[in-house]
């Protein structure tokens, strides 16, 4: 896991095709016959292989945006397309990792990782192939010895790694990560970030994630999209062109984190209900 | 080592029961009532031994238990199925919930007259009482368990591509398991009430029948002895079979591990 040479990754070399396109996507919820706006019209392009981090104050609609991509909710207006096709309901081409780990307690570790493969075309009725794939993924997240453990025996960090393996198993085009690493101690987190980037570089996923932590945003994202307070709207973007894997404790990451934080503070100072 | 406080707790419980028997014996020796009405623990034990030696006891226990095994298996199957339907369909739940809550408020013995009318003195009537006593509790607990499934599990299942037809078996029932075991446990207790009550009237073998015979023969020692056995078997299965399963599941599901 030694760091790649500084210029090995060339993030902007060739413009990758657009994976996800949001055009004027807005969402509001009906609450006791009142309409609550959760997200003001948002337009955004996410390219294949890109890691986009959504960053903003609590309640600004970040989870809502991920839920729209996952297909759990439908936009009130506007459209979201994946590879040019409009999104229609949940599917495992866009896998979501949740704020809590959401592993199934009735299955052990390896059965959790295998779960999503059961209905995959290449794996239907092929339990051995499923198991092999799951073991590979457990190896990737360094949990080989825990294949047979049950979920309640694992630590918080291990659970998140199992959740990552489970999400990677059906080989989704897009990975949606909603604040996946809360409340882990600093050492475990730093290690997990390195591992995560290592895996991402190897598997070339397109990723949208949500975080409250500017350092996490700077460490993981190619682009950090900053939202205003609720109902959210995109205020600005910060590009992070640092080589991977990045160490969350490095001064470069800290410097970008500072810029992201400044943007957030500026966003907070603007009156949030300013739109007429 | 780790279980130390737990083990000490067990000694307290044992002490409590010894004390209970001592008090019983003490009250007996005060001779407040004639001993054919209020027997001593020793007389009860002697009567039970006699029954056992006469070959009356074991077949009775076996019969009641096997009636329970059959009746309760059927009840659990029906209860689970109805509970699942109630859990996934708001309409079914709306219709059946009040009906089943009503059933639950009915004392198990109240099923006896209709059972006699429908099945006469045959064994089927006993199964009928067992099933009717327990099915409502199982169905309601199952549907409650399903309604309490954290939405996160359902979303996770959907994002992982679970087709709708696979949801009940792969996700809904397992996720509702804590509620289901609670229902099975409660259903077992109610079914046990039903079985023994039904045997009081309908049977020529079984724990309920021995109770009934004890009363017919004015044999208080037999009545008390069989009551104690009924409690013992009810408790054994409730605490040590279903109780342990429930505890394991609750721990695994990350729910509070109170005992
Ligand atoms: N199902 C829902 N019904 C009604 N209102 C909702 C629903 N989901 C979200 N909201 C509202 O939409 C707004 C945005 O919520 P969302 O969960 O997307 O925020 P968030 O940016 O993810 O916040 P956090 O950082 O705290 O997780 C909030 O005001 C919330 O109350
Ligand atoms: Mg959120």
**Residue ranges of the domains in chain B?**
34-252
Classified as helix, coil or strand, A79 is strand
- Chain A residue with minimum CA distance to B158: A90
For the domain bounded by B34-252, which CATH number is listed? 1.10.3720.10
Give the pLDDT band of residue A80 (cuts 50, 70, 90). Answer: very high
CB contact under 8 A, A166 and B160: yes
pLDDT value of residue A188:
74
Contacts of B177 in chain A (CB under 8 A): 106
| Confidence band of A140 (pLDDT split at 50, 70, 90) | confident
- Alpha carbon of A229 to ligand 2 centroid (Å): 13
Mind listing the pLDDT tens digit for each residue in B8-38? Answer: 788 888 999 999 999 988 888 888 878 778 8
**Residues in contact with B113: Cβ distance below 8 Å, sequence separation at least 6, in sequence order:** none
Name the residue with higher pLDDT: A265 or A210: A210
Give how far A96 is from chain B: nearest CA, Å.
Answer: 6
Tokens of A80: 């979201």
Q: How confident is the model at residue A270 (pLDDT cuts 50, 70, 90)?
A: low
Cβ neighbours of residue A271 closer than 8 Å, sequence gap 6 or more: none
Question: Would you state the structure tokens that stand for residue A191, as one six-digit string?
Answer: 């290690």
Instruction: Give the H or E element holding residue A223.
Output: strand A223-227
Contact B252 A96 (CB under 8 A): no
Q: What domains can be seen in chain A, in order of their start residue?
A: 18-93+174-269 (3.40.50.300), 104-171 (no CATH)
The Cα of B156 is separated from the nearest Cα of chain A by a number of Å equal to 7
Mutational pocket test of ligand 1: of A56, A60, A228, the residue with most ligand atoms within 8 Å of the beta carbon: A60
CA distance A244 to B153: 33
Interface residue of B152, B155, B159 to substitute, partner A, most A CBs within 10 Å: B159
CA-nearest residue to B249 within chain A is: A106
Cβ partners under 8 Å of residue B95, min gap 6: none
Contacts of A151 in chain B (CB under 8 A): 252, 254
User: Which residue, among A254, A269, A268, A259, has the nearest Cα to A239 in the 3D structure?
Assistant: A259
Model confidence over B164-216: pLDDT tens digits? 999 999 999 999 999 999 999 999 999 999 999 999 888 788 999 999 999 89
Of B155, B170, B254, the CB nearest to A72: B155
| Paired tokens of B15 | 């002490």
CB-based contact B254 A151, cutoff 8 Å:
yes
pLDDT tens profile B134-156: 999 999 999 999 999 999 999 99
Rg (chain A; Cα; Å):
19
Choose one of A28, A31, A39, A63 to mutate for the ligand 1 pocket test, by most ligand atoms within 8 angstroms of C-beta.
Answer: A63
CB-based contact A175:A20 (threshold 8 Å): no
Strand partners, A227: A234
CB within 8 Å: A106 and B166: no
């Amino acid at each position: 896991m030694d760091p790649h040479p500084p210029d090995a990754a060339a993030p902007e070399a060739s413009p990758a095709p657009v994976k996800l396109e949001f055009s004027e996507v807005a969402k509001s919820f009906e609450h006791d016959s009142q309409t609550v706006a959760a997200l003001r019209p948002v337009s955004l392009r996410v390219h294949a292989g890109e890691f986009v981090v959504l960053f903003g104050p609590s309640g600004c609609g970040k989870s809502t945006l991920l839920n729209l991509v996952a297909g759990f909710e439908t936009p009130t207006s506007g459209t979201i397309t994946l590879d040019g096709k409009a999104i229609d309901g949940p599917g495992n081409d866009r896998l979501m990792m949740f704020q809590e780990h959401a592993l199934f307690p009735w299955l052990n570790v390896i059965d959790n990782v295998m779960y999503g493969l059961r209905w995959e075309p290449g794996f239907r009725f092929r339990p051995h192939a499923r198991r092999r794939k799951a073991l590979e993924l457990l190896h990737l997240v360094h949990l080989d010895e825990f294949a047979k453990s049950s979920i309640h025996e694992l630590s918080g960090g291990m659970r998140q790694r199992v959740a990552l393996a489970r999400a990677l198993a059906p080989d989704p085009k897009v990975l949606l990560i909603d604040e996946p690493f809360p409340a882990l101690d600093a050492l475990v987190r730093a290690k997990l970030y390195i591992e995560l980037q290592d895996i991402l570089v190897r598997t070339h996923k397109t990723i949208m994630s949500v975080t409250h932590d500017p350092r996490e945003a700077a460490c993981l994202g190619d682009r950090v999209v900053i939202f205003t307070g609720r109902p959210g709207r995109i205020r600005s973007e910060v590009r992070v062109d640092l080589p991977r894997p990045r160490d969350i404790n490095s001064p470069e990451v800290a410097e970008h984190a500072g810029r992201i934080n400044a943007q957030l503070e500026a966003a907070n100072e603007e009156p949030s209900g300013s739109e007429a | 080592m780790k279980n130390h406080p737990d083990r000490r707790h067990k000694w307290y419980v044992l002490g409590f029961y010894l004390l209970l028997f001592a008090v019983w014996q003490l009250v007996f020796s005060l001779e407040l009532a004639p001993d054919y009405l209020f027997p001593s623990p020793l007389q009860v034990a002697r009567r039970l031994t006699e029954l056992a030696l006469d070959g009356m006891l074991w077949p009775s226990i076996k019969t009641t238990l096997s009636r329970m095994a059959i009746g309760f298996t059927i009840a659990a199957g029906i209860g689970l199925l109805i509970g699942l339907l109630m859990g996934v369909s708001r309409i079914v739940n709306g219709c059946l919930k009040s009906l089943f809550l009503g059933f639950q408020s009915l004392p198990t013995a109240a099923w006896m007259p209709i059972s006699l009318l429908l099945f006469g003195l045959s064994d089927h009537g006993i199964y009928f009482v067992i099933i009717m006593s327990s099915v409502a509790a199982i169905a309601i607990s199952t549907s409650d368990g399903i309604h309490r499934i954290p939405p996160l599990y359902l979303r996770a299942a959907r994002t992982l591509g679970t087709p709708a037809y696979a949801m009940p078996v792969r996700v809904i029932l397992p996720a509702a398991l804590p509620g289901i075991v609670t229902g099975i446990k409660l259903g077992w207790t109610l079914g046990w009430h039903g079985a023994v009550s039904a045997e009081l009237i309908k049977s020529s073998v079984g724990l309920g029948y021995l109770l009934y015979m004890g009363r017919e023969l004015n044999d208080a020692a037999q009545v008390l002895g069989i009551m104690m056995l009924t409690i013992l078997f009810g408790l054994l299965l409730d605490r040590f079979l279903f109780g342990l399963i429930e505890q394991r599941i609750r721990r695994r599901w990350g729910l509070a591990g109170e005992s």
